[in-house]
Amino acid sequence: MSTSSNNKQEQKLPPMNLSDSEWKEKLTNEQYRILRKKETEFPGTGEFNKHFETGTYKCAGCENDLYDSTSKFDSHCGWPAFSSSLGTGEFNKHFETGTYKCAGCENDLYDSTSKFDSHCGWPAFSSSLGTSVKHEKDADGHREEILCAKCDGHLGHVFEGEGLRDANGKIIQQRHCVNSASLKFAKKN
């Protein structure tokens, strides 16, 4: 885990334009498969699914701040879930205080306060950090894909109107279902 301040979320980060071979060298095989090839980890296997510490979730590719931990909730789906992004694997059961980052570029993605247990097998967050996450229609045209705004790494998908509730009983409007391998976490001190 790396440390980072949340001041990074306020900065507009330049995009990362690495070649495919540079990404393969920078990322683990699983991170590359998910961030660059848009694959999905098996539900319930990610490090940040059950992770609820205070902090920020970052892109594992570029360290872009993505989600504040306050937006993370348990959606019982097997992946980390967030209700919104900042500025929008291993983390499925990870609940430390800090920041989750892009595994590829270290962009700050999610604060740990937005993470919740979705019971779906992937880390779930209720919101991302500001403009750190962008949304695009998936190739199938039905799902909303979430990408790191800095390195275009595939993070997962957004789901709406599921009637899920956070730990305080508040209804979650959006669930960012995120692959743990696409994240890094920066613990808050």
Say which of 62, 148, 151, 177 is annotated catalytic. 177
Is-catalytic flag, 177?
Answer: yes
Q: Kindly state the helix (H) or strand (E) to which residue 178 belongs, with its residue range.
A: strand 174-178
Contacts of 17 (CB under 8 A, 6+ apart): none
Cα–Cα distance, 2 to 177 (Å, whole number): 22
As given in the structure block, the two tokens for residue 38 are 């848009």
As given in the structure block, the two tokens for residue 83 are 């209700």
b (16+ CB within 10 A) / e for 51-67: bbbbbbbbbbbbbbbbb
Active site residues per annotation: 177
